[in-house]
Amino acid sequence: MGAPVRVHVASDVHGAARELAGAATGSDVFVCLGDLICFLDYHDPSRGIFADLFGPDHALRYIELRTAGRYEEARALSDQAWVGIGVPERSGRWSVMEAMVRAQYEKLFEAMPAPALLTYGNVDLPALWPDYVREDHRVVDGDVVEMDGMRWGFVGGGLVSPMRTPYEIAPEDYAAKVASLGPVDVLFTHIPPAVPELVYDIEARRFEVGSQALLEYVQRVQPRYHLFGHIHQPLAARMRIGRTECINVGHFAGTGRPFALDIR
């Protein structure tokens, strides 16, 4: 049996460019499971695009409303904030946001280790990535990479949710991406399978949206590992589904450390 492959995995980077720069040190392969952009920091309301635009007090109130499930009130609050900074028309808001997203992507992709395998998170904007990915950055979504005699499958993005984040996919389209993989040895996704313990965030005090298609795939195919992120403070960080070890790789923006795993 050959030597194991040491994999470092980061997910939910949310603007942590300085920490990202050293995340591959000591690894054979570096994998990033997305959510690079920091729109809103639930742990520190002074960080992120919303705080930069409208101030930390607004960001905190917006977080409180979303945490309480009062999404329409949160959107109304945001509309008022846009008017307050002189951008009343929705058509003009994207140009402001895009400039701030691009500024973050420029720093993040400059810091991103290379080589790297990457897929998208639900708060990423895939259409912008080609402007920033560097040589030896391989973006994989709904596809398989051959690695040391193993098949590694990748599915990016999230599912449609009340949050209305940028890269949310209809369940049937997400399921089609999962089905296209065929059998894999290791599965990498941004979101978890639809298992209550894996999708409940104990800090946000809510169930996030997990994928039934991923759960059925894992039950049927039984890869060695299923690695994912998305849930920042999960009720359960790992569990077995049959022979598959399902692992939440952690909230990189909070820890500053990648998840390390030896795969053989």
Q: What CATH number did the domain enclosing 16 receive? A: 3.60.21.10
Q: What is the pLDDT of residue 1?
A: 53
CA distance 160 to 167: 9
Write down the pLDDT at residue 69. Answer: 86
Helix H or strand E segment including 200: strand 200-201
Q: How many CA atoms lie within 13 A of 258 on its CB side?
A: 28
Task: For residue 89, give the 3-state DSSP assignment.
Answer: coil
Cα 88 to chain center, whole Å?
Answer: 30
Identify the pLDDT of residue 256: 96
Number of domains within the chain:
1
Neighbours of 114 (CB within 10 A): 13
pLDDT at position 211, please? Answer: 98
Q: Is 146 exposed, middle or buried (0-12, 13-18, 19+ CB in 10 A)?
A: exposed
Alpha-carbon separation of residue 42 from 105, 232, 241, 242, 257 (angstroms): 20, 10, 30, 34, 19
Q: In this predicted structure, what is the pLDDT of residue 147?
A: 94
What whole-number distance in Å separates Cα of residue 118 and Cα of residue 121? 10
Given the structure tokens 């997990």, which residue do they identify?
Answer: 210
pTM: 0.94
CA distance 258 to 260: 6
- Regions in the chain scoring below 50 on pLDDT: none
- For residue 176, the enclosing domain spans 5-263
Angstrom distance (rounded) from CA 118 to CA 228: 12
